[in-house]
Amino acid sequence: MNIPPDQLYLDLLKKTLSFSLWPDPPVPAETFAYRRSALSRSAVTLAGKALKRGRYRLVEDRQFSRQQREDGMIWPGYADTMIGLKRLDNLQQCIESALRDDVPGDIIETGVWRGGACILARAVLAAHGVTDRRVFVADSFEGLPKPDADTHPADKDDTHHVHGFLAISQEQVAENFRKYGLLDGQVVFLKGWFKDTLPTAPIERLAVMRLDGDMYGSTIDALNSLYPRLSSGGYCIIDDYALEGCKQAVTDYRAAHGIHAEMTAIDWTGTYWRKA
Ligand SMILES: C[S@@+](CC[C@H](N)C(=O)[O-])C[C@H]1O[C@@H](n2cnc3c(N)ncnc32)[C@H](O)[C@@H]1O
């Protein structure tokens, strides 16, 4: 086997972050309880409490195929990222290409959830001995915003904000970085709604921007603030192109700014282009 140690490390990390090495164990029943009716929620709470007294736990078995998990098609119980292996590979490739070509700037992900994709970004810098670029970790750390249909009609019926599963605190994300030994001064947290944090974010130039905010508003806010700061030769990665709102935002932004760079599909939802 002739694989360089840095690549072996990054391969193992991607499998670990995406929890691809193991079958997904059942999740505690309370994890998705918010989706149930009030009656069923109370039943789950009561049964859970009774079991806990006997040091047992009420869990929900979720069966997914290996393909669904590897392709990032599910909301995983235990992985530190939900984007799947192909999109993790793409993120690594974009960063490594930018490093090889000396494309100036930092890296940002807008919409980080448990932080796994940003952890990989920090690891890629570490594996290549890069000490002068930062990874910006932008999130509300409290889930998605309620849709603002006046400003962004495309988000009118969006229900992402009801999903408590998508709200992960900054402390938890920092802890996830720490667990992999990758929390340091090159990791910068931007806490708050993108429309408030991104315009004034202390970023001069970006080499890679990865947008994963699901909604029209979250995508267009990130594009408006960040794309002008993306270096020529830098990469713009869109995670949610399969979602109508996100796709519309990308289409609108590219049309308004005359962007014709070819878009390349990563998998069933991810896509990216390189800035001319
Ligand atoms: C699908 S998750 C991101 C998945 C993540 N990239 C991963 O690797 O698993 C979407 C995230 O975007 C955040 N988010 C969406 N819209 C936002 C906004 N307008 N401002 C701040 N955070 C936002 C949510 O809090 C959530 O953590």
Q: How far is the CA of 111 from the centre of ligand 1 (A)?
A: 3
Q: Which regions of the chain carry the CATH code 3.40.50.150?
A: 84-274
Q: Among the CATH numbers 3.30.420.40, 3.40.50.300, 3.40.50.2300, 3.40.50.150, which is that of 84-274?
A: 3.40.50.150
Per-residue pLDDT, 53: 87
pTM above 0.75, yes or no: yes
Helices (H) and strands (E) in the chain, counts: 9, 9
Cα distance between residue 122 and residue 106, in whole Å: 11
Task: Confirm or reject: Cβ of 212 under 6 Å from ligand 1.
Answer: yes
Average pLDDT, stretch 27-56? 88
Pairing of strands 106-110, 206-211: parallel
Q: Name the nearest CA neighbour of 225 among 204, 198, 193.
A: 198
- Please count the CA atoms within 13 angstroms of the CA of 232 that sit on its side-chain side: 1
- Ligand 1 site, residue 110, Cβ cutoff 6 A: no
**Contact predicate 214/246, CB 8 Å:** yes
Whether 218 lines ligand 1, by a CB cut-off of 6 Å, is: yes
pLDDT at 33: 83
Alpha carbon of 216 to ligand 1 centroid (Å): 12
How far away, in angstroms, is 168 Cα from ligand 1 center?
9
Query: Rounded to whole angstroms, how far apart are CA atoms 38 and 252?
Result: 40
Instruction: Classify 66 as helix, strand or coil.
Output: helix
Asked whether the predicted pLDDT for residue 35 surpasses 90, the reply is no
pLDDT in tens, 179-190: 999 999 999 999
For residues 201 and 88, the answer to whether their CB atoms sit within 8 Å is no
What average pLDDT score do residues 33-58 get? 88
Q: For ligand 1, what atom is nearest to the CA of residue 118?
A: 8
Q: Distance, CA 144 to ligand 1 centroid (Å)?
A: 6
The finding on whether 76 has its CB within 6 A of some atom of ligand 1 is no
Percent of the chain with pLDDT over 90: 86
Does 1 have pLDDT greater than 90? no
Q: Of ligand 1's atoms, which has the minimum distance to the CA of residue 72?
A: 9
pLDDT tens by residue, 97-152: 999 999 999 999 999 999 999 999 999 999 999 999 999 999 999 999 999 999 99
Average pLDDT over the chain, rounded to an integer: 96
Q: Is 194 in the pocket of ligand 1 (CB under 6 A)?
A: yes
- Contact status, residue 117 vs residue 91, Cβ threshold 8 Å: yes
